[in-house]
Chains A and B, each alone.
Chain A
Amino acid sequence: MSRTPVGRTKAAAAVAVAAALVTACGGGGGGAGDDKVKLSIGVFSDFGFTNLIKEYQAAHPNVEVEQRTVKMEQHHTQLATQLAGGRGAADIVAIEEGNIAQFRQSKDKFVNLADHGAKELESRWAPWKWNQGTTDDGNFVLGLGTDMGSLALCYRRDLFQAAGLPTERDEVGKLWPTWADYLKVADTFTAATPGVKFVDTAQNVYKAILDQTEEGYFAKADDSFIAGTNEKVADAFELAASLGEKKQTSALTPFSQDWNVALKQASFATTTCPAWALALIKAGAGDEAAGKWDVAAAPGGGGNWGGSFLAVPKQGKHPEEAYELAKWLTAPEQQKRIFKETGNLPSEPAAYKDPEVTATKNEYFNSAPVGEIFGNSAENLKPTYRGTKDAKVTPVFNNALSRVETGKQGTAESFAQAVQEAGDAVK
């Protein structure tokens, strides 16, 4: 063997496809003798399922549920190799909104939940959310929606005050009805406090703007690649990049280790925050920043960012039981409780319009009425069409923005390179 663990990784990469197939016929053994139904559920970050699973097991003594959590990027890669190999995937798997289109292509590896009666549940979800989880004109139900990521903008009250800007969330929201206004606020802020960056990263601003348009990199009609011709993409890129060119961003990779450190050091004043991001900001900024962060309405109205689905891979042994559990976990009553526990916004109107949810305040964020803010944002939400190859293209444009932020390239040059690279990636 090679002396380095690197060798192992390389070998794993090179042979994963093969090795998985070698063992594919082996079968999983299976726990004979025990007549309990063993289910596993594969998630990333915090879905808020832990307590619910305990409750479900108590109500169903014949079911045993194991939760497996890995990091988001690994989760989807791992799922792909498990599907390819024909074994190893959990009985229920979470799939993120940005990745679901990619897995829709491989729908024959998943159970059609419509066969188990999922179609009757359709009215539970916001129509766009339901449609994202289905294919074949709604006849194939791939996944049941969990949360969604309606958009807001988080800001540091103390830094806004130091820059002479208003600090109350209603007034802050009024500062930026559009993204162009947001840029103006950035200029005002930078002029007053040049030592602090206005926003963490151009990438998130770009994604937020793009998520407010109907089409992004791919055409809704035929899934063709249109990033080079869609003016919305170029406009969003230019707008976000201009923050980078003026050095008003911290040029961070979103949610990276450096991003956490910068949060702790209070080195930027605003960040785009979908509902699920509140937990990340709180974790990164720590207790000493309690009450300093606040939540305001996002420029340009609502947009969707993130949110997941629960799907059932075909290789599982208990599709019926898996479906029952997924159905229960995504039901409005359970989703409501998850919101109160983790802040993940439900995608069912019955849940996000529930008075209990709309009355929820987040103490850490200066007691912001998050239920109301995100619920309202969800109402106006028009989701962007995600192409089948969206997940391949997104990093290319993020890299391009990062090149502008770090001063390696100008906006136009970087964008041209990104369109070229993205075109190659979807060939």
Chain B
Amino acid sequence: MTVAPERARAGRGVDPVPPARRPPWRDRLDRWDTRYTPYLVVAPFFVVFGVFGLYPLLYTAWVSLHDWQLVDGAERFVGLANYAELLSDENFWNALVNTISLFLLSTVPQLLAALGLAALLDRGLRGRSFWRAGVLLPNVISVAAVALVFAQLFGRDFGVVNSLLGLVGIDPVDWRAETWASHLAISSMVVWRWTGYNALIYLAAMQSVPKDTYESAMLDGASRWRVFWSITVPSIRPTILFTVVVSTIGGMQLFVEPQLFDPGGTATGTGGNDRQFQTLVMYLYEKGFRLFDAGYSSAIAWMLFLLVLVVALVNFALTRRIASKG
């Protein structure tokens, strides 16, 4: 196997040198080259991951086993006490429920809308690249700017959404005080930002679906709707599952949108005056950076990590089962 490239290289010379005359150390070098260079090339990623991913992860675990004040450091070792407290902490469960609710409210409509959008973009539109680039635009805008604009739209007294609702005779909604209203408002931000992004991923997958399948279905008299659900969607099933996994991980870590939607901002970080829309990461931030309880905050970080891990594993198992069916 390893001889082939050598020959090719030697072959480039004007008069080929017989391989036997090459010094043995060059052969060894070549063997090492082919065997180890790939490792060398992928190593930077793992080094960076080790420093910025693995080390903090382990360090956070260490911190979570202590009574740890943010500024002054470790006060004493407490073992799993932080975790025990976490499991009986109402605010933690509240944050978890909020996170899941926000995740469902934003991911489900987002992926469905993306699917529809991708199907439309897949048809022969005029000015195709314009529309395709356009759907990605919301994703490019800074999340802080998006949150500021949406916070204005969903203002209670002078917000655009409330004045539109007023036109059809609906009383103004206090978007930050009502649990469901706040979840809807925040989800709308997430949906707006990520639908186009997912649509482009779906579009890429749809374009690799063989066109003749569509043609034969059409010839058999299937409607567009039927073709979409019976051919397009099953054909891109692995891609759909990929987006589900990625959205799940993103959704579990939802932070900036709700944090900026909170009028108290980082000063309180409680996600509304009764924690109506406090997510897990917001709770982590509140504990660690406003209350300076780094130990407890690290425990939340680890719980979150484990949760994401479990969800990712479930997703992975589903992916394997469903993708292999296809």
Contact = CB atoms under 8 A, between A and B. Distances in A.
B115 interface: no
Interface in B47-76: 51-52, 55-57, 59-60, 63, 68, 70-73
Contact of A399 (B56, B72, B268, B290): B268
Interface stretch (B10-18, B23-31, B245-253): B245-253
A4 B274 CA distance: 27
A247 interface: no
A19 to B, nearest CB: 6
B253 A2 contact: yes
A337 to B, nearest CB: 30
Interface stretch (B117-125, B126-134, B216-224, B280-288): B280-288
Contact of A80 (B197, B257, B292): B292
Contact of A22 (B51, B177, B274): B51
A348 B263 CA distance: 35
Interface string B282-326: 001100111110100110010010000000000000000000000
B249 A265 contact: no
A412 to B, nearest CB: 16
B254 A84 contact: no
Interface stretch (A32-40, A46-54, A112-120, A249-257): A249-257
A73 B266 contact: yes
Contact of A257 (B263, B270, B289, B298): B263
Contacts of A253: 263-264
Contacts of B237: none
Interface in B221-261: 246, 249-250, 253-257
Mostly helix, strand, loop or mixed at chain B's interface?
Answer: helix
B253 A398 contact: no
B268 A258 contact: no
B206 interface: no
Nearest to B71: A106
A261 interface: yes
Contact of A258 (B143, B155, B255): B155
Interface in A326-364: none
Contacts of B301: 10, 13-14
Given A6-B253, A13-B284, A105 B72 contact: yes
B268 A80 contact: no
B90 to A, nearest CB: 10
A9 B270 contact: no
A77 B263 contact: no
B273 interface: yes
A19 B249 contact: no
Interface residues on B, range: 35 or more
B264 A395 contact: yes
Given A22-B51, A256-B263, A399-B270, A261 B158 contact: yes
A185 interface: no
A399 B270 CA distance: 9
Contacts of A162: none
Interface stretch (A270-278, A281-289, A301-309, A400-408): A400-408
A332 B49 CA distance: 53
A109 interface: yes
Contacts of A257: 148, 151-152, 263
Nearest to A264: B158
A103 B274 CA distance: 28
A7 B63 contact: no
A4 B253 contact: yes
Mostly helix, strand, loop or mixed at chain A's interface?
Answer: helix
B253 A15 contact: no
Contacts of A392: 290-291
B157 interface: yes
A280 interface: no
Contact of A17 (B51, B63, B155): B63
Interface in B135-161: 143, 148, 151-152, 155-158
Contacts of A172: none
Interface string B148-186: 100110011110000000000000001001000000000
B281 A10 contact: yes
Contacts of A425: 291
A105 B274 CA distance: 29
A16 B289 CA distance: 10
B79 interface: no
A18 interface: yes
A294 to B, nearest CB: 24
Nearest to A79: B71
Contacts of B152: 257
Interface in A1-31: 2-7, 9-11, 13-19, 21-22
A17 B70 contact: yes
A213 interface: no
Contact of B250 (A6, A13, A80, A256): A6
A267 interface: yes
B8 interface: no
A10 B59 contact: no
A403 B274 contact: yes
A195 to B, nearest CB: 12
Contact of A267 (B148, B157, B174, B288): B157
Contacts of A19: 52, 56
Interface in A48-87: 72-74, 77, 80-81, 83-84
A300 to B, nearest CB: 26
Contacts of B288: 13, 16-17
B265 interface: yes
A184 B301 CA distance: 50
A368 interface: no
A18 B60 contact: yes
A106 B292 CA distance: 12
19 contacts: A3-B250, A4-B250, A6-B250, A6-B256, A10-B281, A13-B255, A13-B288, A17-B70, A18-B63, A19-B52, A80-B70, A252-B263, A256-B263, A258-B263, A267-B157, A398-B268, A402-B273, A406-B174, A407-B177
Given A6-B143, A261-B158, 4 more contacts: A4-B253, A77-B290, A84-B72, A399-B273
Interface of B: 51-52, 55-57, 59-60, 63, 68, 70-73, 143, 148, 151-152, 155-158, 174, 177, 197, 246, 249-250, 253-257, 263-268, 270, 273-274, 281, 284-285, 288-292, 294, 297-298, 301, 304
3 closest A-B pairs (Cβ-Cβ)?
A15-B56, A18-B59, A253-B263
